[in-house]
């Protein structure tokens, strides 16, 4: 069996195991739900951290996503991958939290702290892929990680979410199309504009 066949087989087995957990969850098995969340919690936290730029807010949002998933698991029919369904919940929860925080000037305060050098942005375990000069490929030193996060906080929500999902978390265009309910061509054009916005912001900060 070749490398590609092995990878496909492994992915297929993983999805079958995940579906078994989902089936048990839908019957009210809380332990199976806990196992299911453990498979995804690191990625979900990374997503919430990159969307909000705050460890405390990311932890709270991650908990909200878990609760929403638990309440909605019986409605999951397996028509899409579980991760796609889960990220739709994560996206909705993140949008709501960002709107809430924006009304309270949270991101403006974050920018002011960054300007005065008092903002603390930790290195996330999963950074942008490496391949300058495009923003999705910057080498993630600690200082640059902070600069990237500041820029993510500043660019529009639509651009931020697609950059995080594609360039940080590595979802495919097909997966993004499902998550965002967009055509593949629209995903690619939005990603192109988002990368340009992030590149411009980084260029200004790194001059």
The domains of the chain are located at: 1-104, 106-207
Residue 166: predicted pLDDT: 95
Which H or E element spans position 96? helix 82-103
Q: Which CATH number is 1-104's, of 1.10.1060.10, 1.10.1740.10, 2.60.120.10, 3.40.50.300?
A: 1.10.1740.10
Q: What is the pLDDT of residues 145-192, one digit of tens each?
A: 888 888 998 899 999 999 999 999 999 999 999 999 999 999 999 999
Say if pTM beats, i.e. exceeds, 0.75: yes
Residue 36: phi and psi, rounded to 5, are -60, -40
Q: In terms of Cα–Cα distance, which of 11, 7, 10, 29 is closest to 20?
A: 29
Q: In terms of Cα–Cα distance, which of 55, 118, 61 is closest to 95?
A: 61
Q: With contact defined as beta carbons under 8 Å apart, do 200 and 166 qualify?
A: no
Q: What is the pLDDT of residues 85-121, one digit of tens each?
A: 999 999 999 999 999 988 888 777 776 665 555 554 4
Plot region of 155 (φ>0 → left; ψ -120 to 50 → alpha; else → beta): beta
Q: In terms of Cα–Cα distance, which of 74, 78, 88 is closest to 32?
A: 74
* CATH code of the region 106-207: 1.10.10.10
Residues 84, 104: Cα–Cα separation, whole Å: 30
pLDDT above 60 for 205: yes
């Amino acid at each position: 069996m070749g490398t590609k066949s092995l990878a496909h087989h492994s992915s297929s087995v993983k999805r079958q195991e995940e579906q078994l957990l989902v089936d048990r969850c839908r019957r009210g098995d809380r332990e199976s739900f806990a196992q299911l969340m453990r498979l995804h919690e690191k990625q979900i936290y990374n997503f919430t951290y990159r969307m909000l730029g705050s460890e405390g807010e990311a932890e709270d949002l991650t908990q909200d996503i878990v609760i929403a998933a638990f309440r909605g698991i019986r409605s999951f029919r397996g028509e899409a991958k579980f991760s796609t369904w889960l990220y739709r919940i994560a996206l909705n929860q993140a949008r709501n939290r960002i709107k809430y925080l924006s009304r309270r000037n949270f991101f403006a305060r974050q920018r002011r702290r960054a300007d005065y050098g008092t903002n603390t942005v930790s290195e996330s375990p999963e950074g942008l892929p490496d391949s300058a000069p495009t923003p999705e490929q910057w080498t993630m030193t600690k200082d640059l990680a902070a600069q990237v996060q500041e820029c993510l906080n500043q660019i529009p929500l639509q651009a931020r979410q697609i950059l995080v999902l594609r360039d940080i978390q590595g979802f495919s265009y097909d997966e993004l199309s499902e998550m965002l309910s967009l055509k593949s061509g629209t995903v690619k054009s939005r990603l192109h504009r988002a990368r340009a916005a992030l590149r411009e912001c980084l260029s200004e900060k790194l001059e």
